Structure 1
Amino acid sequence: MKLSKIIICVGAAIASASTLFSCGDGTTFTKAEKELIGKDTSAAIMPLYTTDSPSETELLRKVAAPLTAKDITSDIYKVLRHRMLCTVNDPENPGVGIAAPQVGISRQLVAVQRFDKEGEPFEFYPNAVITSYSPEKKYGWEGCLSVPGQRDTVLRSTSIEISYNDELTFELRTERVSGYTAVIFQHETDHLKGVLYIDY
């Protein structure tokens, strides 16, 4: 989800290429996904997939695959997480949320800026699913990093319940979220189902 603001991404260390491309690491990431995540280890920002490209649109329209416990404890996941964070914080094209399919990785992972928490941090949610929507809905303006040059109003629930796997324990967590943060969650989890805000 796009927002006009400037945030500077502080780079973290990137795992070595030998770690990224090791075979038999127990993860479900494909070779192509690993190559994309580690394609340029000197630059943290990943290229965004957009609707301007038919082939990229095809991936954006796919239902994303779930992540396993081994996936989210792997080095390649840490690199993906870091690079997604830097991409959404790109000062030239910042957003308030991002989903893995938007950087070409069709996996169930979203990052959401928590405007409802102190410091408004970005947090990651593997296998995020909205399990409950409030009947109360409200129109609001939205844009998307993957749909450049467009904005429109979308009717969204004002409160949701989200479930996801804890990044450390893989335990299933549930959380009630409301307000603008709930809107971001709805926008980003739509990406995991191959849905774009322009579909509404």
Structure 2
Amino acid sequence: MKSETRIDKQSSNPKGIGLQSWFQSNKWGYVASVSLLPYAIFKTLWALGVPIGATQKAIEDMHANMEAYSGPVFSFLYRYGIDITALLAIIAIFLALALVRPWGQRFPKWIPIFGGRKFHRWLLLFPAWVGGMLFTIFGGVSVIDMGLMGLGIKPSGNMDGLEPWVFMIVYGGFFIWGFTICLAALSYQTRTRNRKAENNQTFL
């Protein structure tokens, strides 16, 4: 009886409830989706030839490299302002949103046979966890590296015609996406742990 009372007290603990709601919050998916928007915008503008945060020579070099090394399909898309890495960023944005929106648990209705059916949650969790951990490490190391350069502790590297603040925004976005997508994955994993919780989940 005492153990039951102790469990009830713990479950009614405002701090415990607050911590649980913090981990299960949908906000992490939204933060992750916004964090990659600057990168997608920069890459699209550069593909269109707009030198925002970059010199005109840097833009010309990017176009020359795409023509020489990216293959016929990607180089063709690049001529019309479609950068493959910007597309990948958009996919990552939708992955983040899928972890916090109801359509992130079902196949689209227009897909034959599977349309409208729930898919296995690890179809989202696996890329979210793997990508999140990799981007957290890569983005975090890059931000620290850029910070050391800014403080003069480490020699500045070759910026390839790009402004330093561009690197901070891009790599900072990578780190934020990685960290928050892991939290969004944890929230999604907690909410969908069993079928009953999944069916009763209310999305904001």
- More strand per residue: 1 or 2? 1
Indicate the structure with greater helix content. 2
Larger radius of gyration: 2
Same fold, TM-score > 0.5, yes or no: no
TM-score (norm 1): 0.23
Taking structure 2 as the reference length, the TM-score comes to 0.22
